[in-house]
Amino acid sequence: MQVRHQSIKSRLRFLAALALAPCLAGCFVSPGGEPSSQGGPSGSRLRVALAFPPAENLSPYGADATLLSRLGVTEGLTALDANGAAAPALARSWHREDDRTWRFTLREATFQDGTDVTPAAVAAALTHATRAEPAPAALAGVTLGAKADGERGIRITTREPDPVLPMRLAGPSLAILSPKAYRKKGSPTPVGTATGPFEITEVSGGGSATLDRYDDYWDGLAHATGIDVRFVKDGTARANAVRTGDVDIAEAIPVAQAATLDKATLKEAGTTRTTSLQLNTESGPFKDPELRAAARTAIAPSALVKGVFEGYADPGAGLFGPAVTWAESKRVEPAGRAEPARPDGTSITLATYDNRPELPEVAQVVQQQLRKAGFAVKLEVREYSRLESDALAGKFDAFIGARNSLLDTGDPVGVLGSDYTCDGGYNLARLCDEKTDRAVAEAVGTDGTGERQDAAMAAEAAILGTDAVVPLAHQRIIAGVSAKVRGVLLDPYERTLVGTGTRR
């Protein structure tokens, strides 16, 4: 795919920025609203290595949504703060009018094509998202309608009460794009139509992308003048690029490479990402709950954490790990699990992807543990973009993946609905269990923070009770960052990486 977007208006904005340089040097405001201690934009570009190339032509409705948010291209009405609560983004405020209706007030902002972010444009963008097939993960099990309300207002109504709607709207898949993005059939394009501090100007296949600073960004001029992105699936190559100074930032550094980086360039942070073994409950050997139980009892998560992750993870305790600080104290013991059967040479196909370099090694250890228990295991490893459709279609008996449990909505219930219910859009285990659906539905309808957390953990117990999923490890973020770089955004939800304050 080859695209170019550079309007005359953008060039004029750039010239205006040069003319106003003295003012910018004294007036720059960082994303947090505090004056920048650096005195203004540094004027340099950032070089970034990402593990995953665009898998769906940069559609905001699928896996590419997080890529877009991490590069500072797209935004939603809201964002998540450090505590996982909804924070202002394109909406500066909101309030709940009744059980099913919320009113959001928009801030003054423009799209990257120069048009204004209006209530009508926002309502149209959200309406397009509700009609996408498959539905964005943030909308799993939710039906909503959006209408403009006055000069700056947008009213959103849900079919059922949705107490976490502001958190849901922070999901990367619900990014707001200009009307121009939706003119062609198919998925909308974020190229030149988003609202973030950086604008995509060129994408060269799955190898690289070029982003330029969007000078009319509502939250101030970014320090970096642009981002040069390389998609490098090989983790060792990403680490080497940091070591040699070829890139400024590299995500997902392999655990095996962490020790080879200078401590000044190694950044670590907690994450809500869990690596799990998903078992196909719809067809094949693991349709039998007793064989699923045999697989669960064969796995030793502590061996994985010690041998594969080298301490950069915690043993899998559930779907929510230590970064979800309240989970452990509220965890419920699963009930009704089947008794393990003897595998007796049962043949299974185990699949994983190599974009996250630790996963093939995890799969090899799991393969050995399952073989020791009596399974005959064939291992298949591909790049994620070549694997996802087959995994979602249930073409493998077992699948190992790394999933951020709070990525889609920030709400602990959201991932349970999308991943483990009959209508879930990312149901790799192909689970369709009445007890599980009922527990998730109860959690969805629960209001109040503590009460919702309790309901989420009850639903987690119901899911684990089916043995459709075996939590293996709760991961930590390991990134390589040049010692010259400041302001990299590492958050537990993995939605951010580069922002207005990121610079070198």
Residue by residue, DSSP assigns 478-502 as EEEE-TT-B-----TT---S--TT-
Positions of E strands within 76-136: 78-80, 86-88, 91-98, 101-106
Task: Give the domain ranges of the chain.
Answer: 1-71+196-262+483-504, 74-183, 270-476
Of the pLDDT bands very low, low, confident and very high (cuts 50, 70, 90), residue 217 is: very high
DSSP β-ladder status, 86-88 and 78-80: antiparallel
Least confident of 12-21, 72-81, 274-283, 339-348: 12-21
Backbone angles phi, psi at 15, to 5 degrees: -65, -40
The pLDDT value recorded for residue 62 is 86
Which CATH architecture is the domain 270-476 placed in? Roll (3.10)
Confidence check: pLDDT of 472 > 60: yes
Give 345-383 pLDDT, tens digit per residue.
999 999 999 988 889 999 999 999 999 999 999 999 999
Of the pLDDT bands very low, low, confident and very high (cuts 50, 70, 90), residue 444 is: confident
Of the pLDDT bands very low, low, confident and very high (cuts 50, 70, 90), residue 42 is: low
As given in the structure block, the two tokens for residue 279 are 């078992």
Which CATH number among 3.40.190.10, 3.30.1360.200, 3.40.50.720, 3.40.640.10 corresponds to the domain 1-71+196-262+483-504? 3.40.190.10
Say which residue, 71 or 477, is predicted with more confidence: 71
**Average pLDDT score over the chain:** 89
Return all residues near 83 (Cβ < 8 A) that are at least 6 apart: none
CA distance 378 to 402: 20
> What is the SS3 assignment for 215?
coil
Of the pLDDT bands very low, low, confident and very high (cuts 50, 70, 90), residue 127 is: very high
Of the pLDDT bands very low, low, confident and very high (cuts 50, 70, 90), residue 41 is: low
Return all residues near 421 (Cβ < 8 A) that are at least 6 apart: 140, 141, 427, 431, 432, 436, 437, 440
Confidence check: pLDDT of 286 > 90: yes
Share of residues in the chain with pLDDT > 90 (%): 73
- DSSP string across 468-483: SEEEEEEEEEEEEE-T
Residue 138, CA distances (Å) to 168, 256, 400, 409 in order:
6, 34, 22, 5
Of the pLDDT bands very low, low, confident and very high (cuts 50, 70, 90), residue 12 is: very low
Confidence check: pLDDT of 184 > 90: no
Which CATH architecture is the domain 74-183 placed in? Alpha-Beta Complex (3.90)
The pLDDT value recorded for residue 170 is 94
Say which residue, 481 or 358, is predicted with more confidence: 481
Residue 327 CA from chain centroid, whole number: 20
For residue 407, give the nearest of 141, 58, 172 by alpha carbon: 172
CA distance 282 to 307: 32
Confidence check: pLDDT of 1 > 60: no
The pLDDT value recorded for residue 201 is 96
Contact 190, 5 (CB under 8 A): no
For residue 306, the 8-state DSSP code is H
Contact 41, 226 (CB under 8 A): no
